[in-house]
Amino acid sequence: MPLPHLDRPFDYLVPQALAADAVPGVRVKVRFAGQLVDGWLLERAERSDHPRLAYLEKVVSPMPVLAPEVARLARVVADRYAGSLADVLRLAVPPRHARVEKDVLAQAAPPEEVPAAPGEPTAPPEPGGWRDYPAGPALLRALADGRAPRAVWSALPGEDWAARYATAAAATVAAGRGALVVVADGRDLDRLDAALTAALGPGRHVCLSAALGPARRYRAFLAARRADVPVVIGTRAAMFAPVDRLGLVAIWDDGDDLHSEPRAPYPHAREVLLTRAQLADAAALVGGYARTAEAQLLVETGWAREVVADRAVLRARVPAVAPTGDDPQLARDPGAASARLPSLAWTAAREALRAELPVLVQVPRRGYLPSVACADCRTPARCPHCAGPLALPSAGGTPACRWCGRVAAAYACPHCGGRRLRASVTGARRTAEELGRAFPGVPVRTSGREEVLTEVPAGAGLVISTPGAEPVAIGGYGAVLLLDTWALLTRADLRAGEEALRRWSAAAALARPAEAGGRVVVVADGALAPVQALLRWDAGWFAARELAERRELGFPPAVRMASVTGPPDAVADLLAQARLPDGAELLGPVPADGERERMLVRVPRARAAALAEALHSAAGVRSARKAADPVRLQVDPLALF
């Protein structure tokens, strides 16, 4: 039951007819408050402290899909995020697919066709690309020996990160243990799938993703639950996947917001995996081209060791990175401070195209002109119905609202009466149109929400991409142009600089090394900290700086924060019921969406558990009173403002 005041196990009698099938982990049906509801059988006991018990009504399936270690993990995650166990179990176990379950139970391979046991030790793999990192071979040896190393990995530009993760998983399997790897999206999952097939052979791992569909996802889940495979990979949906004898948990690009679950209790895949490593005494690997403040905290507290390359190796792998806003560049090109495509970026693109090398152009906004303004007085154009921003879908299109979708064909500026519009923000499709005119005869491809490209050939010409949709170029890009950097840097977000560096690094990592002609041009001031980190390819330096600033200002991950969002009276009622720990600080209220408001509660990390317990207990009091207005609780939300 998802209600907070019912967040505890209940005892039922098991009738003799169901005794054989009623084992821990099976789905059951029970009577609760006069209704037949779904439940999980967590444990069988000889006796109960309750004198009168109802009988178990039905065992839905004899398949124990809820593993004991996952049930334990779900309880810990629920407590950490001030949530209910029922909500976490809904995320941990996919919906039942009866036909798939029937097929799996009916399968009985002859003895000679039974594959090798997932935990059977094999020969450890060669370090391969891990040799580029001084601590890389030692990490693999520890995994192959069955130990539990913990590492934060800063990947080199051009790194085949999927192959490195596959090698780490193979080393874990060599020790007779299982591995779980979580990535952000389907493109990364496809790369990792191919790399693991090459490293382990077919049939030795499964992919778990909500995009697979109910039947394929449930079949893959059952294969993991029955220990048919030693390795499970997937997107956020796989963070609770059952893995036999778990020896390694790994996550790639933990700063991607896709790793954050949008459903209650809003757990983050990184935190769930690190909790699993702690509970199962398993190894942990957090990797990416950039580094989050949370990963840096793991390094600074000694919980994990960093795996980075020597400067000599780094210099041989990085492309030549140049900003357009530093003093020498402004002296040569005074217009670089205001130009969208300064001469340095234009020259880099032209030289790469002359050498028949592809050019990647990263644009933060999709669409054509996602924001327009009056051409006469520069007032932002707003929808006359809902005050939402107007956008132009094409060169000859009619402005339409991005919020309500209404067309504003007869738009007139309310300040000056002007009817002409100009671009405030330029999207990817408009950029492709402009660059197509600037470089006639050069093929122009776009990669974004409408169509995401996976790979482009060596002579692909210009590739215009939004962040996160950059395709891999065979042989690497000759030039990477990072345009409209202000759109990322000026976001009203605690993680604006961190997110900008993460997105820039992901694009710059696709360029060729400098000695092979690879260049990266970032249209920004070279004195900015994220730009400096990109120039030096030093994600650890920037993460340490971010963490130090957050310690000084009292922001996560240096402290633990929770947001309480809802109608003003409901928020005040919940906080009045909560027995907050000593030292708790209330920040707000501030307006949220609609008529709701948000309060922030800040405590030292040492009192994080007490804060979550206090908020969950207060939510339980309101739930027992059947309070009408809901309140959303989020511990360590990604967005604080």
Categorize the per-residue pLDDT at 115 as very low, low, confident or very high, splitting at 50, 70 and 90: very low
Q: What's the chain's Rg over C-alpha atoms?
A: 27
Higher pLDDT, 203 or 365: 203
What pLDDT does residue 326 have?
60
Q: Which of 111-120, 225-234, 373-382 has the lowest mean pLDDT?
A: 111-120
Q: Which of 313, 334, 357 lies at the terminal end of a domain, its last residue?
A: 313
457: left (phi over 0), alpha (psi -120 to 50) or beta: beta
Over residues 231-271, the pLDDT tens digits come to 999 999 899 999 999 999 999 999 999 999 999 999 999 99
Provide the number of structural domains found in the chain: 4
In a domain, 386, yes or no: yes
Over residues 274-300, the pLDDT tens digits come to 999 999 999 999 999 999 999 999 999
- Nearby residues of 230 by Cβ (< 8 Å), 6 or more positions away: 118, 119, 172, 173, 177, 178, 179, 204, 205, 243, 244
Over residues 439-484, the pLDDT tens digits come to 998 999 999 877 889 999 888 899 999 999 999 999 999 999 999 8
Residues 271 and 363 in one domain: no
Residues 542 and 562 in one domain: no
In a domain, 496, yes or no: yes
Instruction: Give alpha helix (H) positions in 145-257.
Output: 161-174, 186-200, 214-225
Q: Which of 44-53, 439-448, 486-495, 504-513 has the lowest mean pLDDT?
A: 486-495
Burial class (CB in 10 A: 0-12, 13-18, 19+), 30: middle
What pLDDT does residue 594 have?
79
Categorize the per-residue pLDDT at 109 as very low, low, confident or very high, splitting at 50, 70 and 90: very low
Residues 529 and 426 in one domain: yes
| 132 pLDDT above the threshold of 70 | yes
What pLDDT does residue 327 have?
53
Categorize the per-residue pLDDT at 436 as very low, low, confident or very high, splitting at 50, 70 and 90: confident
Mean pLDDT of all residues belonging to the chain? 91
Residues 180 and 292 in one domain: yes
Residues 572 and 616 in one domain: yes
Residues 246 and 162 in one domain: yes
In a domain, 448, yes or no: yes
What angle, rounded to 10 degrees, do the helices at 608-624 and 68-80 form? 90
Q: Which of 549, 567, 601 lies at the terminal end of a domain, its last residue?
A: 549
Spatial contact of 440 and 446, defined as CB atoms under 8 Å apart: no
Report phi then psi at 204, rounded to 5: -105, 0
Instruction: Please give the Cα distance from 582 to 25 (Å, whole number).
Output: 39
| 120 pLDDT above the threshold of 60 | no
In a domain, 137, yes or no: yes
What pLDDT does residue 334 have?
56
The CATH number of the domain where 41 resides is what?
3.40.1440.60
Question: Which of 383, 365, 466 has its CA nearest to residue 424?
Answer: 365
In a domain, 524, yes or no: yes
The alpha carbon of residue 36 and the mean position of all alpha carbons in its chain are separated, in whole angstroms, by: 37
In a domain, 80, yes or no: no
Residues 434 and 361 in one domain: yes
In a domain, 72, yes or no: no
Written as six digits, the tokens of 261 are 């679950």
Q: Which of 313, 342, 373 lies at the terminal end of a domain, its last residue?
A: 313
* Cβ-count burial 86-112 (b if 16+ within 10 Å, e if not): bbbbebbbbeebeebbeebeeeeeeee
| 369 pLDDT above the threshold of 90 | no
Instruction: Please give the Cα distance from 63 to 27 (Å, whole number).
Output: 8
Please give, one letter per residue, the 3-state secondary structure of 228-283. CCCEEEECHHHCCCCCCCEEEEEEECCCCHHHECCCCCCCEHHHHHHHHHHHHCCE
Residues 274 and 361 in one domain: no
Written as six digits, the tokens of 165 are 């993760």
| 379 pLDDT above the threshold of 90 | no
Written as six digits, the tokens of 412 are 């007139």
- What's the full length of the chain, in residues? 641
- Mean pLDDT (whole number) for 391-420: 85
In a domain, 26, yes or no: yes
Over residues 38-81, the pLDDT tens digits come to 999 999 999 999 989 999 999 999 999 999 999 999 999 999 99
Burial class (CB in 10 A: 0-12, 13-18, 19+), 256: buried
What pLDDT does residue 114 have?
41
pTM assigned to the model: 0.90
Residues 599 and 510 in one domain: no
Residues 540 and 405 in one domain: yes
What pLDDT does residue 113 have?
41
Q: Which residue range(s) make up the domain with 147?
A: 116-313
Instruction: Give alpha helix (H) positions in 475-603.
Output: 486-489, 496-508, 529-536, 539-553, 568-577
Higher pLDDT, 350 or 403: 350
Residues 29 and 5 in one domain: yes
Instruction: Please give the Cα distance from 70 to 241 (Å, whole number).
Output: 8
Residues 522 and 490 in one domain: yes
The CATH number of the domain where 582 resides is what?
3.30.70
What pLDDT does residue 339 have?
55
The CATH number of the domain where 145 resides is what?
3.40.50.300
| 173 pLDDT above the threshold of 70 | yes
DSSP state of 580: P
